[in-house]
Amino acid sequence: VSASAEDESPLLGKPFPDFTVTDTAGNAFTLSEELKDHEAVLINFWATWCGPCRNEFPAINKVYEEYKDKVAFLALSKEPKDTDEIISSFRKENGLTLPMGGDGDHELYKYAETNNVPVTMIIDRFSNVVFLQIGSFRTADDLRRTLDTFLGDQYTETAVLHSIPADTAMATLPVSPARANR
């Protein structure tokens, strides 16, 4: 599943409102504060009953461990029944370390303008929404390539990304001799 096209989401390229939520560990997560210490923020909306959410968490958590100094991560359950206790148990059972919390009142999820999960939103260093994906990431590499678009000194102004960048390593593979002779 690719990211929403710009005309499908008026949010892309626009500022995301500042917010503060408390994760299940009791830590406050404030967007403006996180952007002082990180180049981007990734928010993943999910629910404990969502199979695709459960399937993508190992990849998201792996990238979180690699990128947490550059990117702030927050996984928010949109399910009102997912209490902090349920989310904490889910986190522990699945060996997840990324910050997780609840958005059962949909204060933030409403901006995704969908009823689906998972949904991943990336907010750049300028507080603008630059990527919105409805559906799960297939691999950690897909997530890395997406995040890398918004990191580093070359990223000097907001640039919206409409889909996961192609794996250019795959494009450079040689054609097998058997196929080359056709």
**Is the per-residue pLDDT at 25 higher than 50?**
yes
Q: Return the pLDDT at 179.
A: 56
pLDDT digits (tens, 9 = 90+) for 81-93: 999 999 999 999 9
Q: Residue 112 above 80 pLDDT?
A: yes
What secondary structure, in 3-state letters, does the chain show? Answer: CCECCHHHCCCCCCECCCCEEECCCCCEEEHHHHHHHCCEEEEEEECCCCHHHHHHHHHHHHHHHHHCCCEEEEEEECCCCCCHHHHHHHHHHCCCCCCEEECCCCCCHHHHCCCCCCEEEEEECCCEEEEEEECCCCCHHHHHHHHHCCCCCCCCCCCCCCCCCCCHHHHCCCCCHHHHCC
Q: List, for residues 48-85, the tens digit of each pLDDT value.
A: 999 999 999 999 999 999 999 999 999 999 999 999 99
Rounded Cα–Cα distance for residues 106 and 173 (Å): 45
pLDDT at 167: 84
77 phi/psi in degrees, rounded to 5: -75, 130
Q: Which region among 3-7, 21-25, 83-87 has the lowest average model confidence (pLDDT)?
A: 3-7
Q: Which are the contacts of 97, defined by CB distance < 8 A and separation ≥ 6?
A: 61, 64, 65
Render pLDDT for 122-155 as a digit per residue (tens, 0 to 9): 999 999 999 999 999 999 999 999 999 999 999 9
